[in-house]
Each structure stands twice: as structure tokens, then as C-alpha cells.
Structure 1
Amino acid sequence: MKKRKLGRNGPEVSAIGLGCMSFGGFYGATGQEESFATLDAAWALGIDFLDTSNIYGPHISEEVIGAWQADRGKRFKIATKGGIVIGAPRGTADNSEAYLRGELEASMKRLGVDNVALYYIHRRDWSIPIETVTETLLKLKKEGLIGAIGYSEISPASLRLAAAVGHVDAVQSEYSLWTRLPELGMIQACAELGTAFVPFSPLGRGIFSDVDLDPGTFGDKDFRRANPRFSGRNFRHNMEYVRELRAFSAERGWTTAATAIAWTLQQGDHLIPIPATRAPAHLAAWAGADEIVFSDDDRAELERILPVGWAMGDRYAYQQLVGIERYC
């Protein structure tokens, strides 16, 4: 696995990380054995960067990672998040120093570590200026509890405000062949400021694969049940485009998933995508994406097959948008 820097001043990590939200059951039930097998496969493939959060489960994802590291005697570079108040009404966030410190300490205990490679503010607390929150993160970094600081789902304007206080190592947002909002300022701002841009859901929450999804089989707790892009006419429309992408990929000997991740990697050297899975077989389908190099013809064909704005339906349902900073 090739390496990329986690921001201007950060450590080198695998060019593709592993998102661990699935370990917490967001896309259906899973168990420790399956999660361990996925982490084993990631390690064997050279993936050394994990992305998790205290709310995944809640706590389950962090606990599984901690248990794996204790059992295997190995250490991933781990990014985790805090700021969302677990058990409170959706959208409730607390970015105060006392709350963030307490949540970080609890996360480290579950992970079995005395510091994390990267700590994100998962959602903004709008009662506290982002400059003040950045000061808190820098304080935790100075104390050695975190190696790098980051924000999830903020705007380019907010990133610039935070960066005026101190260097922001990473920003995480959804970005893929069907979600291209970050091209309207965020990817550019990150490049200018030396900030890593970390695309989550680069596989479109599973739609970019070689097997048709069936929304009718989604479990009651599956995040996609309420997602507009997976419902009715929207889903049928979107699958027509995905099937063209599959044909493009198959002609070149690539899986659809590998093509989708390779596309994110080739949008800039500062991008580090974190596809999520709970199954080793799914991971194997895209693990070689860092070796794919598109020709000019490939890029032109991808833009023809999936023109900007092709996806039908919003990327989130209204209730899922709470706390996300929208800038366009």
C-alpha cells in the first residue's frame, strides 16, 4: 500500500484508510469475529490508518479496535471523533474543553492507547466559536493526547477561521463519484492550507460495487433506509449510471469499487479516502485501488458516464442533515 501524509505536518499513513463505522452496526448487525477478520485483512494489505468515533455503536467500534490491538499486539494509526452528545436529541453537540477532554479520555481507554493519531470534532457546537474549539484541540495536542487535529463536515470558510488559530491537519467530508460538493471550495482550501482531505463514503455507501444492492433487504437500523438516494425512483435512476460504471471497470480489469476509490485518490495527493466495510471480501475488492492510474481517455470517459450532478436524491434525509455545515 502506498503512503500519503496526514496533512502538511502529519505522519505518513496508508493512502487508503479503513472506515470503521460498520463495526458499530450502522449497516446491519455484525460481531467481533467478523470485525477482527476485517482488521486482520486490512493489516495484511498494508492499511494502517483506521477511522472511528465514540458514537459508532455507540462505543462498539472503538471497543472492537481496542480488543483487536490488545489481542494481536499491533497498533494502527487511529483517528477518532468527539463532540456529539450521546443519548441527547439528534444534533446536540458539545465542543467545550471539559466535554471534549472527557470524551477523548474515554475513547483512549476503549482503544487501549494513551494517545490517538488524529482527533476530529465530529459535529460543531454552534455556541462556541471554531477558533476557541481549535485552541482546545491544540492544547490537547500539546499535552500529547492527540497527534493531529481535524474537523468533520465543516465549510471552507470555517476551515480558514480555524487555520488562522493553528494548523488543521485534516478535514473529513463525504466525497465520491456521486457526492462532489467538496469540489466547490473544500478540496482547494485543504490543498492551500496543507490540510489532508479525508473522503468518507467514497463507495457511495455501497452502491459502487459489482453486485446490485436491494434496498428491500436493508435492516431496520441500516442508515440507508432513510437515505433519499436509495429510495424508489431515485435508486432505480442511480443504478442505471452505476451499471455503466461497472462496464467501464470490467473492460479494464478493475472492480467497480477499486475504480471509485482510485478516482478519489487521483483528485489530489492530499486526499486519503476511508472506505468502510465489515467484511474482508469487500475490502479485498478495492485494496489495490492505489495502483490504478487513469489515462486521459479514462478520465474523460468517467466524466461522460457520471457527469457532475448525475445522482438523483439528496445525500442525506432531512433528519440526517442535523449538525452538518452546508456551504453551497
Structure 2
Amino acid sequence: MEQRRLGTRNVGAIGFGTMSFGGIFGPTDEATSLACLDAAADAGITHFDTADIYGMGISERIIGRWGRRDIHLATKCGIVTGPPRTVRNDESYIRQCLEASLRRLGREHVDLYYIHRRQPEIPVEDLAGTMGRLVHEGKIGGYGLSEVAPSTLRRAHAEHPVTAVQNEFSLWTRLPQLGLIQACRELGVAFVAFSPLGRGMFGREPLKRAFRAGIDFRDTNPRFTEPNFSANLAAIAPFRALCAARGWSVPGAALAWVLAQGDHIIPIPGTRKAEHLHDWQVPRLDAADIAAIERVLPVGFAHGDRYGDHQMAFVERYC
């Protein structure tokens, strides 16, 4: 697999996100998740991403039981599930969360530690100072920020260099192209794209609206509720036809498009099933291919917001 820079190391250009191991998209089990991790490693994936809130520690514990030490591992803290759901970025809380994550992961060190959401009341310079101290103490290899604006990145980076920014980015979520991807490139910061396959919308087959209420969070997500859901299926249908005509898998082409937006971008698709990894083989896209994709999926084509209002709390908006 192609390699890309993440902090001081090279990793596979495609990483692996483990949010689904915690059950946010529906039931899963440890044996299936462990098999999925094995398949990802066999496919050349070396960067794995988790968080303390994914299944309230379930994802981290599964990775800990997996026990691989030859991977680049990231986890996150900062979201307090509540009720009420809020965020904390104070140093005592960050240290408490990190120690708990390390216990679940079975490690004394994690390669990359993200602040999952920023707490507005705490100056980002103070937050960067906290993360810098954890780096100097050897607890973390580097730190990252998630769902932040370019201005926040620049302020944090000036205090202590940021390793990575993780924001949603895909063919139907293009906001990072309005400044954040450019700021990351300028500062030498990796941009880690989560949900690059649109939470299943760019899967092998068109999604069916059979989300389990109270379990699968897409059930109340604006892009997956009617009439938006049907409109989005129709909008993506020409892209599926283009992929079929050119012999591409739909997920592979969607990932290839993300990778083509900058050599500092690392998408982290996720899955609960090992067989889905076969669809992640990326074709080589030339300028004509990219233009053809963007003709059928022009910027801003999606119907509905990527989050509901309650999910947008503490997501930084800058445009």
C-alpha cells in the first residue's frame, strides 16, 4: 500500500476507523471485530483509529485484546456523554481519560491522541500546552484535534506542533476544502478524513433504510431521513453507474477521490465485516477521472446536513 506521513512515521495511505466496533451502526461482537482487524492488517493497513466513547470503551478493549504492537494507534478523549452531553478539555480530565484508555488498550503509550471536540471556554493555547506536556512525558507520540476550524489549528500549532486534524471529509462532505485542508498542508499537519464512505452511502450496494431505532444513529441523521435519504440515493446513482462502467468498486473510487485531494490526506474508513475490505482497492484516477466524478457528484450535492442540530454542538463552524 502507498505510504503517507503521519507525525514522525509513515503509515498506509488508508487507515482504519473502529467506531462501528462499539455498536453505533448496529450489533457486533468481539470475534467479528478481531477478524476484521486481522484482515485490515493483512491488507497493509497500519494506522488504526479509536476513541474512548466508541461503545464506552468497547472499541479500545477489543484493540487491547488484539494486542498488535506493530501498528500506529490513535485514540481520543474530550466528549462527555452525560446526560447532558458536553465536552471537557481541562488537563486533569484529559490525563484521567488517557490513563483509562491506556489501560483498556494494554499500552503505556499511544502514538496519536486527539481532543475529540474542543471546549470553547479553555483557550486552545492552554490545551496545546497540556498535550505538549503529555508528548514530553512520553505518554503520547503526538496530538491531534477533531472537528476544528483552521484558526484553531493555527493557534494550537503555534503553541505546540499539531500532528493531525481529523474532520469528516468525503464526496458529500466538502467543507474542509474551504481552508482546513490547505492549512494542514501549509503547516505540515496530516489531515485524517473520517467517514470517507459517507457512513455507508458509498458502499458496495445502495443502502436500504432499515436502521435500528435507538441503536443506529443514522436513523435520526438528516441525510438518512426522508425525503433526503431517497434524494441522496438518486443523486449517487450516476456515480455508481460511472464506477460500473469503468470497472471500479464504489468504495474504492470514493476513497481514491479523497486520496487525490492531497498527499497529506489519510482516509479512515471503517467496517464491522472483514469482507468489506476487498472493496477498498483504490483505482488510479487521472485528471479526467476526477473531472468525471465531480460532474456526476458536484460539490454540495447532498440533501440534508451531515449532523442534526444536537450533534453539531462543539463542532467548529467557520464558513
Correspondence 1:124-203 to 2 at 5 A: 124-203=118-197
Asked whether the 8 Å contact 1:52–1:61 carries over to 2, the reply is yes
Q: Which residue of 1 aligns with 2:317?
A: 326
Asked whether the 8 Å contact 2:18–2:271 carries over to 1, the reply is yes
Give the aligned residue type for 1:324: V
Give the aligned residue type for 1:295: D
1:85 corresponds, among 80, 90, 97, to: 80
Q: Shift in Å at residue 148 of structure 1?
A: 1.1
Correspondence 1:307-322 to 2 at 5 A: 307-322=298-313
Q: Which residue of 1 aligns with 2:48?
A: 50
Asked whether the 8 Å contact 2:78–2:94 carries over to 1, the reply is yes
1:235 paired to 2:229: yes
Uncovered stretches (5+) of structure 2, i.e. residues with no partner: none
Asked whether the 8 Å contact 1:135–1:165 carries over to 2, the reply is yes
Q: Which residue of 2 aligns with 1:4?
A: 4
Q: Shift in Å at residue 42 of structure 1?
A: 0.5
1:114 & 1:217 partners in 2: Cα distance?
38
Deviations 1:96-120 (Å, cap 9, x if unpaired)? Answer: 1111011001101100111011000
Correspondence 1:205-220 to 2 at 5 A: 205-220=199-214
Asked whether the 8 Å contact 1:19–1:50 carries over to 2, the reply is yes
Correspondence 1:58-97 to 2 at 5 A: 58-69=56-67, 74-90=69-85, 92-97=86-91
1:320 & 1:237 partners in 2: Cα distance?
22
Name the SS for the 2:193 alignment partner.
strand
Asked whether the 8 Å contact 1:51–1:79 carries over to 2, the reply is yes
1:306 corresponds, among 297, 300, 309, to: 297
Q: Which residue of 1 aligns with 2:243?
A: 249
Asked whether the 8 Å contact 1:28–1:219 carries over to 2, the reply is no
Q: Shift in Å at residue 220 of structure 1?
A: 2.7
Deviations 1:260-319 (Å, cap 9, x if unpaired)? Answer: 011110100000000011111112211x22xx2212221111111000110010000111
Deviations 1:68-123 (Å, cap 9, x if unpaired)? Answer: 11xxx544211000111243411x11111111011001101100111011000001
Name the SS for the 2:176 alignment partner.
helix
Name the SS for the 1:225 alignment partner.
helix
Q: Which residue of 2 aligns with 1:25?
A: 23
1:104 & 1:87 partners in 2: Cα distance?
18
What is the aligned-residue identity percentage? 52
Name the SS for the 1:273 alignment partner.
strand
Asked whether the 8 Å contact 2:204–2:250 carries over to 1, the reply is yes
2:243 & 2:32 partners in 1: Cα distance?
28
2:285 corresponds, among 294, 314, 318, to: 294
Give the RMSD, CA atoms, in angstroms. 1.1
Asked whether the 8 Å contact 1:224–1:230 carries over to 2, the reply is yes
Asked whether the 8 Å contact 1:210–1:246 carries over to 2, the reply is no
Q: Shift in Å at residue 197 of structure 1?
A: 0.3
1:88 & 1:146 partners in 2: Cα distance?
29
1:324 & 1:61 partners in 2: Cα distance?
23
Length, aligned pairs only? 319
Uncovered stretches (5+) of structure 1, i.e. residues with no partner: none
2:134 & 2:63 partners in 1: Cα distance?
22
2:307 & 2:66 partners in 1: Cα distance?
32
Give the aligned residue type for 1:11: R
Asked whether the 8 Å contact 2:211–2:218 carries over to 1, the reply is no
Give the aligned residue type for 2:72: K
2:240 & 2:204 partners in 1: Cα distance?
7
Q: TM-score, normalised by structure 2?
A: 0.97
1:273 corresponds, among 267, 271, 274, to: 267
1:118 paired to 2:116: no
1:201 & 1:100 partners in 2: Cα distance?
25
